[in-house]
A and B are shown apart, each in its own frame.
Chain A
Amino acid sequence: MTARALQSIPPIHARLFPNQEWTLLVVLLVECALFSVTGNNFLTTNNGFEIVRLSVEIGLLALALTPVIITGGIDLSVGSMIGLSAVVLGGLWHDAHWPLPVAALATLALGSLGGGLNAWLIARLNLPPLIVTLGTFSLYRGLAEGLTRGLETYRGFPSEFLFWGQGYLGGIVPPQLFVLLAAIIGIWWWLHRSIYGRSLYAIGLSAEGARYAGISVARRLMWVYVLSGLIASLAAIIYVAHLGQAKSDAGTGYELMAITAVVLGGTSIYGGRGTVLGTVLGLFAVVILQNGLRLSGQPAELAGILTGVLLLTTILIDRYAHRRRTVPTEVHSSTEDFEVKNAHVAILSAVILAAALIVAGSNWLLVRSLQQNTGNVPTAANNNAVTPTTNRKLTIAVMPKAKGDPYFASCRQGAEEAAKELGIELLWDGPTEVDAAKQNEVVEAWITRGVDVIAVAVSNKEAIATVLRKARQKGIKVLTWDADAEKDARDFLVNQATPQGIGYTLVDEAARIMNGAGEFAIITGSLSADNQNEWIKHIKARVAEKFPNLKLVGVQPSDDDRDRAFTEAQNIMKTHPNVKLIMAISAPAVPGAAEAVKQSGRKDIKAMGLSLPNLCKPYVHDDVVPSVILWNTIDLGYLVVHSAKAVSEGTLKPGAQELMAGRKGKVVVKGDEIILGPPFVFNKGNIDQYNF
């Protein structure tokens, strides 16, 4: 952008990294070289196209955000717009019976309208983009939740529509590639080859200057935001076709991933600098990193950490190369170049040293204290490492719904115990937070990597079915556990308890605590969680059928956050003073609700629900929580790995009646379901015998 061409002989580091695109290209090559060594089947055409498929939605958002950021603005609402567009598309098609193409056009119109609201507030009312889109970020997601009441999921889209997200052209090329290519070319032309695009750079460098140069700044800014909304709704259509379902939580967190790609690609967050090529490179640097780490069997968290580090280092390199290069020709800009004195260097070193010491020391402390915790030592990531063995070990890949959930952390303990016992290689990976789209990505990576068995705790049965069928076609055995996929997409389900069994046990136990009569309220995980909505359905059914004197007065969400559950429980007790019981059906929500009940000092209210015994022990002993309901989660993980081995070796076939599972002994098999046993009620008398 600047007068860099005038520079005579650039110093060596500037020649090596003339701009951020080159830095990124080097990063990409390094990533590819590294992962082709560490990952299984990384450098294959198939994997190449899978990477493209996974990057289309984020890629579209990143392309839409490039012009926005070049004008010095930002749009945080694009992820929420995906959610809103997805449910509107689903609603128009499913409920209003519009033909899909018309519904899709209406969705695009809605996207433009949403972008238009941002545009109007930003360009006409002169409000700062960051704050406006922070508001619409919350507004659009909220509208999506409100319209669907959080629980509606639109499914069953026709196959010609799904083709756009799941199909293959010529057996290998994902069709959405062409949408991405069209967007790349369109935006590239608009930004780099049209006068309109040039004016956006002018606006980004100095809006006031652009105005004096005769550019109608407000109008151009408006189009940039309208376009961003439009492309977000286009991404939503692809997303729905890709996952085969439309739900209000679609695209959560996508805005940050897209911004990461754009900024990594060298677009200046201050505006006035950036290219489409850079954005595309930035996008693939992030996506390939994630994909490559998965194929190398590294945990998902590492991808996040490395993305952060990559972001910092590339920008740092760019800043230094760029700054040294332009200093002699640019007007001396003093915000850029405060003199760095010795004192600064000393302060800097001291701060870095102290920070490093504290960060390192605190890590050590944290690990130690978690180990003391309850003796439940997560044996960390080293189990994931690919260990070269002479005779190939059986590889079993197990996926939880969310890695960060204490419930699944305890399942992992059992899975690792079984893996050690049976001498097989266990891959334990999945999304860090509940995310149906991420589950598909991980399964895709496992298929490419080539594992023997895949066992998935399914977040969304429609969304995962296609990839699981693909895995079965490739000869991989597929199990589901914790929650089922569609029956033809898996070999067996390891069933810890049916939703009906869970709902009924909860209600029966609640009725016992409340002596069969009174008001109760539910605190759920998130309003859009399939599992919990299913349980609530059965809870209501059981109440209606058997306990007419129980009255459900409300369902409040906790977002699986203990502190939020605490506040919601306080609100419930105040708005419904007659409530006798708070039933929490998410593991962190039970201790949250219990603490609220305890602090209220009211002995006539109890809390109970589905949670881990360890999280609730103190409250059970305080008589705040009379009972906690759950199955033995360690046994669940243990049984999953045993079943996986049996299925893979052919000892467990359709029609079997039972399965020998190590220390669990004989386990009942009913049809295509391996039954763990009924839900267990933990109470004051027995809870101390369990440690998970």
Chain B
Amino acid sequence: MPNSFFSNFNLARHQRELAALIAYVALLVFVGIVAPSFFNAGNWRDLAVANAPVLIVAIGMTLVIVAGQIDISVGAQFAVCSMLAGALAKTGIPMPLLLLLVPLIGAAFGAVNGVFVALLRMPAIVVTLATMVVWRDALRWITEGTWVQGMPANFQWFGLGQTMGQVLIVAFAFAVLVAFYWALGNLGAGRAVYAVGSEPEAARLAGINPPRVVLAVFMLMGALTGLAALLNSIRFISIPSNSGLGLEMKAIAAVVVGGTVISGGRGTLIGTLIGTALLGTIGTALTFAGINPFWEKAIQGAIILAALASDVVLSRIRNSEFATGSKGTLQIGGAK
């Protein structure tokens, strides 16, 4: 084994992202052999547009998980924000203003989670389980399944036309990705998220205010969910009342497959990008490969597990190759 290659690449640091990347490449190779027609520009464009909102939510979820928290209410928030985006647009508010208002509303919903978790110190999974049910059922109660329809003409694609609109959606997702990638690495606030996630007490002693960081992270999660909901909505001319079902699972799976550690403190947005791409491609790839849709969920589950297991295998290889390197951390799975 050419040791220099591994040490240059710093496998140890990016091993989990690498595992996801290998799974993704394997999927692409498989579909490339079975159905080469998968690789055409139109298909990639559609995949990018459909997954851009998921990516934005997954970016927020990365922050939340890195901070040692979790948010399973994003699907419900997404539905509420979608409906509200439509309702606001119908009042005649100019479209650019919506780009400000809907994330703001999302941030308010995120703040509710944040207040319970950060300031009242309740476990995030319980709080967001409760708010998920509350938002979703309240929305059902109010709308009773009615869609928001009769949107103004400049709602779809912000009135820019299909091609420009699609470019806009993908551009927004990448702008968010780049901005957060930069901020997490270079801003004090970004480093604080990692610090709080890996050891709140140490972070506190280092002068960081952990509750404030956690509150901010939940509000950002909400704002990004709002943005994603708006960008997803402008692909259509009406807004259903049940969107975002299962979005939380999709986002969490994408983040974790991308190598973010569920107990916090570690994870990168590049990993999240790969994870989102991997999970967002499976469904379409299977359709192209002509595999019966009945098996789709099973294959999805198997890929998540395979990505996790490959991570363990990679780390065993690494540990045997660099026996002197970082000690294999004997973390017990059951312990948080």
Contacts and interface: CB of A to CB of B under 8 A. Distances in A.
Interface string A56-81: 00000000000000011110000000
Contacts of B262: 128, 130-131
Contacts of B127: 312
Nearest 7 A/B pairs, CB to CB: A142-B298, A139-B301, A142-B297, A304-B137, A138-B301, A207-B335, A207-B332
Given A365-B91, A574-B43, A138 B297 contact: yes
Given A381-B141, A405-B145, A304 B134 contact: yes
Contacts of A362: 80, 84, 87, 105
B142 A366 contact: yes
B108 A406 contact: no
A146 B286 CA distance: 14
Contacts of A376: 146
B277 to A, nearest CB: 15
Interface in B265-294: 283-284, 287-288, 290, 292-294
Given A149-B292, A221-B334, A348-B115, A134 B249 contact: yes
A490 interface: no
Contact of A208 (B108, B134, B297, B335): B335
Contacts of A405: 145
Contact of A338 (B43, B210, B249): B210
B63 interface: no
Interface in B316-335: 330-335
Contacts of A408: 145
15 contacts: A72-B334, A135-B301, A146-B294, A260-B133, A305-B133, A335-B200, A351-B115, A365-B91, A368-B87, A403-B144, A561-B240, A563-B240, A571-B284, A575-B288, A591-B238
A217 B253 CA distance: 27
B108 A358 contact: yes
Nearest to A599: B162
A336 to B, nearest CB: 7
A575 B150 contact: no
A427 interface: no
B154 interface: no
A319 B122 contact: yes
Contact of B242 (A130, A268, A561): A561
A203 interface: yes
Contacts of B308: 121, 125, 127, 131-132, 135
Interface string A370-414: 101110101011000000000000000000001111111100100
Contact of A203 (B114, B133, B334): B334
Interface string A316-340: 1001000000000000001110101
Contacts of B204: 334, 338
B32 to A, nearest CB: 15
Most chain B beta-carbon contacts within 10 A, residue among A134, A208, A432? A134
Contacts of B42: 574
B25 interface: no
A311 B126 contact: yes
Contact of B147 (A128, A567, A615): A615
A438 to B, nearest CB: 13
Contacts of A211: 332
A571 B287 contact: yes
Interface string B135-160: 01110111111111110000000000
A270 B215 contact: no
Please report whether the interface of chain B is mostly helix, strand, loop or mixed according to DSSP: helix
B295 A142 contact: yes
Interface in A109-162: 121-123, 125-132, 134-143, 145-146, 148-150
Nearest to B127: A312
B287 A556 contact: yes
Contacts of B304: 131, 134-135, 138
B325 to A, nearest CB: 18
B6 interface: no
A341 to B, nearest CB: 9
A351 B40 CA distance: 48
A359 B149 contact: no
Nearest to B296: A142
Contact of B263 (A128, A134, A365, A381): A128
B171 interface: no
A369 interface: yes
B53 to A, nearest CB: 9
Most chain A beta-carbon contacts within 10 A, residue among B42, B119, B301? B301
Contacts of B141: 299, 301-302, 305, 381
Interface in B118-138: 119-123, 125-127, 129-134, 136-138
A136 B301 contact: yes
B11 interface: no
A369 B210 CA distance: 40
A559 interface: yes
A101 interface: no
Contact of A256 (B43, B105, B129, B210): B129
Contacts of A595: 235-237
A654 interface: no
Given A142-B297, A203-B334, A336 B109 contact: no
